[in-house]
Each structure stands twice: as structure tokens, then as C-alpha cells.
């Protein structure tokens, strides 16, 4: 029989008999080992998969939820109003003013690329920044700036619905023009920025603000600050009281979609807490006059000595109330204009002042150490009298010069060292304690402090002189509320051996006795010392803070002088050294204080007194005064580089510090002129003029108050 293949109509014979099934590949017998391996692999894969599912679902599930929430939820900072800074009569030194920032929201720009670019190009022309391209400028932190298009594209890639701040603190007219034009995706964000109405006059006191530095970004972001807008104090009161002034930012939690668009607010909103305001002790009128007197003096000296290689460019004037420690004026010159840093830091201006060799950013009143010269003699005389080296009425012969014998070559005059009386080369004759201050007699202090054969077998010595410097706080800061204050310096034999590899000599003690050699101090430290004498031994910590005020105008912290008596320091000294010598320092302190004050009074009243000009300038006001002049030789890095350190003819700084009225002090002033030479002719007129200004302003204000009271209903 045949069968037909319907596909090609071919006939084939049908096979006869049993038809066998065709063999297939699956009929081959698979070895058992391979099946087992396959099963194991499948099982391992299932175990791994289940383990990974367990890890993702249970072990790391919460982490992923948190990550998802962090992407979905965002903390939006609500800025707190920063406290302002004013002075005692309400004059503003640091205030907040409205500022406009320009923002662009990439997702809200036109969808058509040509229209989008047209909007951005128009905006760039309005706010005056490059539209596109690479820029070679930097921002206030020194970071390269970006073109408008680059900033927008960067923001678009991160979160297109988040506004990008493209320019800060624009002109109000431009802000209103942008609003009027209604550019799609462009908006104005109104914020507050700092303004410093008194600028350079109070820059070293107030300081300035700047952007949050990258190294502190996490710290401030955790507190709710906006890193792109918020600013912090960088110097002065703005830095020292930053947490007090800043307040606490508020916060609300918002939910955003994947593009960054805000969907809703989640939970309760934390409202911001406004910062406290500060009322300072500074008198801006007195500050302005003090700065004017200093600048006039420097200008006058430039005119008189135009060829002086060091020049006349630096100085300090500080006025205080010695009774309370309140600082009425603090002038450090040269200064800088902190209003250039108020809104954004003018980076080019910052580089200019930062690289200026005169260091205008540096507050010389608290951060520079200078040899004080003869204004230091009060401390030396205190030690001499308290330690019983000399009695007040004892005299020493003060010829124009003395020879200090070399202890290793006592019989060789060539090896001896000559010390002279700088103010009176012929000599003062016999000098007692009061006269030593009045005439500023160097020879008296050489002999009494370092000893002199035949007259003073054992002088005060550097160890006890250093101890009395400690009593007056030279090993510590005076304590004013400003950053950058440094300690005075108390030299000793161990320090010289470690530093210079030399032993301490009697000549070193001679130099230290009148504030030369290795003795250095800040102007504030020296005025603080004067105040201790003027205030009858009461130590008042220098302060700039009069009151702390809350946002409602309530005084949350009033003014209380931070005071204690110097006898506490003397008692501490007595425990370590006085008990061994058997001297009752407490019993003698009042007498010593009276002698020091009498010596300063004599300096302005007796014939030959170094500060006579001070009293003359106050006579017509009927004000009595006392003070001490100082002329301090120096050879610092500036003088050395200019080759001005000629042996026996070093340049000198000019100092004067005094207080008034003598019987009941209200004001103390120190004036320092770098390279000013004679303290009596250069620094004294500045300080006395400031004292005169103080009493004239006081009289004017009292008269105005009486007029207002009389005209009141």
C-alpha cells in the first residue's frame, strides 16, 4: 500500500510491520552528578536571593526608608531676625536693612529653548552678570563665579523646582523692574542684610559678617541655617556675640516630588527666635573726635618729617571710665571700611586691606605688643616700695649716666656698660619716689630695680618685678569682649635662656625697669593698669557691653561692673613669696597707691614734670588731671628691614596715659603713636584733647537735658 504526501503529491510505499519511534536528544541518559550540581546551584541562588531580600527588607529596610524620606522631605529654614548693635545714646552701629535676591526656578522657565534663553539673556542684562561662558572672577569666598546659564543648568540637574539664587542684594529699582517685567521662572526673594552706618569709625569694635565657611557647613546646616544666604560674624562684636545676635532659625518640613517641587508642609512649623540686640558703652561722638585727633597728629608728623623711612601711619587711642571699666572710645588706626563687607564681602577690597603692610584689619589696641617705655614705671615703683627696696622719702643720686660694672671684669672700665637718663642727660640730682615718676628719672629706676654698688646693694630684681607684673595681670588678657586680644609678656631668666641661649644680666633688669628690653604690652593692658591706680586698687574688667536687649525692647541683662580689689592678687602673691620675706603688703598698699598717684599728679604740676602740658589744656575747664608719659625705643621687623636700628639711636614710640579729674576720676585715656618719638610732645596732646572733649560733650548734653526738661509740659 502506498500513501499520499499532501504537501507535494508524492506517493510513497507505507512501511510494513511495527513502526519504531524516532530517537530524540532527550533520550540520552544524563549523568546523576550533573543533575546534583545543577540542583545545588539553583538552591544556592535561591538562598542568596532570599538572603538579599531579607537584607533589603528587614536589615536595611529602615535605612532605605530614611533615605527615601530624606529625598522626599526637605527642611526649609525660616531665618531669625538678627539683633542690632547700638550705643548708649541709641546711635546705630549695626542694623538690618531689606535686600533683594534674584532667583530662577529652572522648571518654570519657558519650555521652548529659544524663549528660555531669551528670558535668561534679558535677566543677565538687567542684573549685570555674564549670560554664558567661563568667568575669571571670584566671589566673596574666593570661589570662581559662574555665568547665569551655568548656574541655572546646574540647578536644573539637581532639582528643577528649587529656586537658584543667581544674584544677591540687587538695587531696589532693578528688583522692581524685574517684578514689573514678569519674566517666567524669575522671582525676587526679599531678605535682610547687615548695614554699618558708622563704617570705618567703629570697624575694629563692630567687625563684620561673612558667608558660612565650608568647613563649618554641616554644623550650621544642622542648626537650620541656609548655606547659600545666611551669614555669621567674622570679627569684632559680630563674631564674639554671634550666637546672641543671631537668634535661632525657624524650620518647616515640606514634602517634595522627584523634581523638587513642593507638595505640602508636613507637621508643625518651628517659628524662629529673634536674636538679642546689644547696647554698647562706646560714645560715637567721642570716638570720632579721638580718631580725628590721632589722624591730625599723624598728618602733621608726615608734614614735619616727610623723609622718615618708617613713616607715621599707626596709632591707638582708648578712653575708658576707670570706675566701671566701660570703654568710651577705642580707636585703632589705620582702620578699614566694614560697610564694604556688610552685604557681601568685597573680595578685591578685602585682598587690598589684608595685604596692606600697615595691617588695617588688625586691632592694634588689643592685638599688638609694644614696649611701653616709661608708662611702665608705675609697676616697677610699686614693687620697689612694696618690697621695701626704697622708702618713699629715700633718695638716690641721679647723675646723667651711670656705669654698670661687668661682674666678670670688675676692674676693667672698658668692659662696663653705660646707662643714661634719656630725659635729662645732665641728671636730676637727688630723687625720691614721687619725683622719680614726675621727672621720669631713668637712673632712679636702674638703681632701685637692678641694684647699684654703694647705694642699693640688692635691687628689686627681675623675678620680683615679674611677680608684680603678674599682680597687675600682665600674664593674662584684660578681658574685653573682642576676639584677638593677647596677653602682655613677663620676661624671666628661664625664658631668655631658652629663647636666646643667654643668661639674664643686670643690664636686662635695668632695661626692664622702665618698660624696655623684653617687656611688651598692649595699649589696652597699659590703660587697664592705670585704671587700677586711678580707681584706688579696684580692678574693673574692660567692657564694651552696656545692655543686652530682647526683640521687645526689654533689658534681659543690665550692666554690672565686673570688679574685685587688687589685694586679692597681692594676697595670692604673699602666699607664694611675701610670707617668706615677712613683709605685710596689705598694710603698705594704701601708702604705695598714694605715692604712685602723687607722682602722676606731680608729672602734670611740678616744674620739670614730663606731662605739664596736660594740665594746661584742662585748666580753663577747671579739671585736674594726672598721668605718665612714655618714650619707648624699638627695633621691630619694620625698623630692622629699613635699617633704622642704629645702636644708641633707635626709633621710638610715643605714649601717654592719664585720667581726670584727679580727685574723682571719670575718664582715663591712653594715646600711642607708632614711631612717634616723644610721648610728651606727640601722644600727650592727643590724650588730653580727648579728655577735654569728654568734659565738653558732657556739659553740652547736660545743658540739652535741662533745656528739654524745662520745655516739657
pLDDT band at 633 (very low <50, low <70, confident <90, very high): very high
Q: Residue 578 pLDDT more than 70?
A: no
Give the pLDDT confidence of 18-49 residue by residue, as tens digits.
444 444 444 555 566 777 887 788 888 887 78
- Give bridge partners of residue 75 from the DSSP assignment: 253
- Cα–Cα distance between 701 and 88 in angstroms, integer? 13
Q: What is the tens place of the pLDDT at every residue in 47-60?
A: 778 777 766 666 66
Q: Tens of pLDDT along 414-471?
A: 556 777 776 666 778 899 999 999 999 999 999 999 998 889 988 999 999 999 999 9
What's the predicted TM-score (pTM) here?
0.84
* More confident: 60 or 107: 107
Question: Which of the four pLDDT bands, split at 50, 70 and 90, describes residue 195?
Answer: very high
Sequence-ordered list of residues with C-beta below 8 angstroms from that of 364, at least 6 positions apart, any chain: 314, 315, 316, 332, 333, 523, 672
pLDDT band at 411 (very low <50, low <70, confident <90, very high): low
Find the distance separating the first CA and the last CA of the chain, reported in whole Å. Answer: 144
Closest by CA position to 332, among listed 290, 279, 283: 290
Enumerate the domain spans of the chain: 74-280, 284-702
| Residue 192: CB atoms within 10 Å | 13
Residue 228 has a pLDDT of: 76
Q: What is the CATH number of domain 74-280?
A: 3.90.1310.10
Lowest pLDDT segment from 442-446, 611-615, 695-699: 611-615
| Band (664; pLDDT cuts 50, 70, 90) | very high
Average pLDDT over residues 355-375: 94
Measure the CA–CA gap between 41 and 24, rounded to whole angstroms: 27
Mean pLDDT across the stretch 79-97? 92
pLDDT at site 600: 97
The C-alpha atoms of residue 85 and residue 706 are separated, in whole angstroms, by: 28
588 confidence band (pLDDT: 50, 70, 90): confident
Question: How many Å apart are CA 530 and CA 540, to the nearest integer?
Answer: 11
Q: Which fold has domain 284-702?
A: Beta-lactamase (3.40.710)
Confidence bin at 62 (pLDDT 50/70/90) = low
Q: Which three cell numbers stand for residue 181?
A: 517685567
pLDDT value at residue 711:
82
User: How confident is the model over 323-329, as a mean pLDDT?
Assistant: 97
The pLDDT confidence band at residue 408, using thresholds 50, 70 and 90, is very low
What is the β-pairing status of strands 85-87 and 277-280? Answer: parallel
Q: Distance (Å, rounded) from C-alpha 481 to C-alpha 341? A: 21
3-state secondary structure 257-272: CCCCCEEEEEEEEECC
Identify each DSSP E strand in 325-381 by its residue range: 326-333
Q: Please state, in angstroms and rounded to a whole number, the distance separating the CA atoms of residues 558 and 324.
A: 13
How many Cβ atoms are within 10 Å of 246's Cβ, its own excluded? 26
Give yes or no for residue 613 having a pLDDT over 90. no
- List 538's β-bridge partners, or say none: 565
Q: Please, what is the average pLDDT of the chain?
A: 86
Averaged pLDDT, 81-109: 92
702: left (phi over 0), alpha (psi -120 to 50) or beta: alpha
Q: How far is 473 from 481, CA to CA, in rounded Å? A: 17
Amino acid at each position: 500500500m502506498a500513501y499520499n504526501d499532501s504537501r507535494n503529491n508524492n506517493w510513497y510505499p507505507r512501511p510494513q510491520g511495527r513502526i519504531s519511534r524516532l530517537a530524540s536528544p532527550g533520550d540520552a541518559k544524563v549523568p546523576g552528578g550533573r543533575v546534583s550540581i545543577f540542583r545545588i546551584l539553583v538552591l544556592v541562588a535561591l538562598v542568596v536571593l532570599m538572603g538579599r531580600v531579607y537584607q533589603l527588607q528587614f536589615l536595611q529596610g529602615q535605612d532605605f526608608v530614611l533615605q527615601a524620606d530624606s529625598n522626599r522631605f526637605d527642611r526649609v529654614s525660616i531665618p531669625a531676625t538678627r539683633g542690632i548693635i547700638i550705643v548708649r545714646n541709641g546711635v546705630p552701629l549695626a542694623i538690618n536693612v531689606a535686600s533683594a535676591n534674584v532667583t530662577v526656578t529652572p522648571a518654570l522657565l519657558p519650555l521652548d529653548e529659544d524663549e528660555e534663553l531669551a528670558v535668561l539673556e534679558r535677566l543677565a542684562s538687567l542684573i549685570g552678570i555674564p549670560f554664558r561662558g567661563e568667568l575669571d572672577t571670584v566671589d566673596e569666598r574666593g570661589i570662581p563665579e559662574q555665568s547665569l546659564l551655568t548656574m541655572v543648568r546646574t540647578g536644573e540637574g539637581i532639582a528643577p523646582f528649587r529656586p537658584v539664587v543667581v544674584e544677591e542684594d540687587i538695587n531696589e529699582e532693578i528688583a522692581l523692574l524685574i517684578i514689573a517685567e514678569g519674566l517666567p521662572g524669575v522671582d525676587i526673594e526679599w531678605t535682610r542684610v547687615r548695614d554699618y552706618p558708622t563704617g570705618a569709625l567703629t570697624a575694629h569694635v563692630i567687625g563684620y559678617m561673612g558667608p558660612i565657611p565650608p568647613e563649618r557647613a554641616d554644623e550650621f546646616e544642622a542648626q537650620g541655617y541656609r548655606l547659600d544666604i545666611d551669614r555669621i560674624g567674622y570679627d569684632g562684636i559680630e563674631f564674639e556675640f554671634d550666637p546672641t545676635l543671631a537668634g535661632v532659625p525657624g524650620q518647616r518640613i515640606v514634602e517634595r516630588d522627584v523634581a523638587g517641587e513642593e507638595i505640602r508642609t508636613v507637621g508643625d512649623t518651628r517659628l524662629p527666635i529673634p536674636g538679642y540686640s546689644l547696647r554698647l558703652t562706646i560714645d560715637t561722638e567721642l570716638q570720632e573726635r579721638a580718631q580725628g585727633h590721632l589722624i591730625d597728629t599723624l598728618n602733621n608728623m608726615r608734614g614735619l618729617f616727610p623723609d622718615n623711612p618708617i613713616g607715621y601711619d599707626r596709632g591707638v587711642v582708648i578712653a575708658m571710665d576707670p570706675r566701671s571699666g566701660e570703654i568710651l572710645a577705642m580707636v585703632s588706626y589705620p582702620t578699614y571700611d566694614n560697610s564694604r563687607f556688610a552685604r557681601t564681602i568685597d573680595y578685591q577690597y578685602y585682598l587690598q586691606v589684608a595685604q596692606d603692610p600697615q595691617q588695617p584689619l588688625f586691632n592694634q589696641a588689643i592685638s599688638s605688643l609694644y614696649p611701653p617705655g616709661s608708662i611702665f614705671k608705675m609697676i616697677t615703683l610699686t614693687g620697689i616700695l612694696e618690697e621695701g627696696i626704697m622708702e618713699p622719702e629715700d633718695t638716690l643720686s641721679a647723675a646723667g649716666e651711670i656705669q654698670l660694672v661687668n661682674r666678670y671684669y670688675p676692674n676693667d672700665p672698658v668692659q662696663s656698660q653705660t646707662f643714661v637718663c634719656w630725659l635729662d642727660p645732665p641728671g636730676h640730682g637727688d630723687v625720691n619716689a614721687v619725683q622719680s615718676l614726675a621727672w621720669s628719672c631713668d637712673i632712679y629706676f636702674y638703681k632701685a630695680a637692678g641694684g647699684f654698688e654703694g647705694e642699693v646693694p640688692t635691687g628689686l630684681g627681675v623675678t620680683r618685678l615679674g611677680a608684680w607684673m603678674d599682680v597687675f595681670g600682665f600674664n593674662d588678657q584684660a578681658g574685653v569682649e573682642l576676639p584677638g586680644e593677647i596677653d602682655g609678656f613677663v620676661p624671666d631668666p628661664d625664658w631668655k635662656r631658652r629663647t636666646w641661649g643667654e643668661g639674664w644680666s643686670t643690664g636686662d633688669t635695668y632695661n626692664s625697669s622702665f618698660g624696655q628690653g623684653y617687656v611688651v604690652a598692649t595699649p589696652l593692658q597699659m590703660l587697664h593698669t592705670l585704671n587700677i591706680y586711678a580707681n584706688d586698687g579696684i580692678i574693673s574688667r574692660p567692657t564694651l557691653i552696656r545692655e543686652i536687649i530682647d526683640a521687645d525692647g526689654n533689658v534681659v541683662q543690665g550692666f554690672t561692673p565686673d570688679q574685685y580689689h587688687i589685694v586679692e592678687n597681692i594676697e595670692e602673691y604673699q602666699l607664694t613669696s611675701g610670707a617668706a620675706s615677712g613683709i605685710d603688703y596689705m598694710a603698705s598698699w594704701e601708702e604705695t597707691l598714694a605715692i604712685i598717684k602723687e607722682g602722676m599728679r606731680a608729672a602734670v604740676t611740678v616744674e620739670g614734670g614730663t606731662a605739664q602740658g596736660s594740665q594746661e589744656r584742662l585748666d580753663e575747664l577747671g579739671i585736674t588731671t594726672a598721668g605718665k608719659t612714655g618714650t619707648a625705643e624699638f627695633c621691630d621687623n619694620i625698623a630692622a628691614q629699613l635699617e633704622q636700628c642704629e645702636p644708641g639711636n633707635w626709633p621710638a614710640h610715643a605714649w601717654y596715659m592719664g585720667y581726670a579729674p584727679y580727685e574723682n576720676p571719670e575718664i582715663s585715656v591712653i594715646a600711642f603713636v607708632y614711631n612717634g618719638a616723644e610721648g610728651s610732645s606727640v601722644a600727650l596732646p592727643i590724650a588730653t584733647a580727648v579728655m577735654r572733649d569728654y568734659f565738653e560733650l558732657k556739659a553740652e548734653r547736660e545743658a540739652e537735658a535741662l533745656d528739654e526738661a524745662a520745655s516739657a509740659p
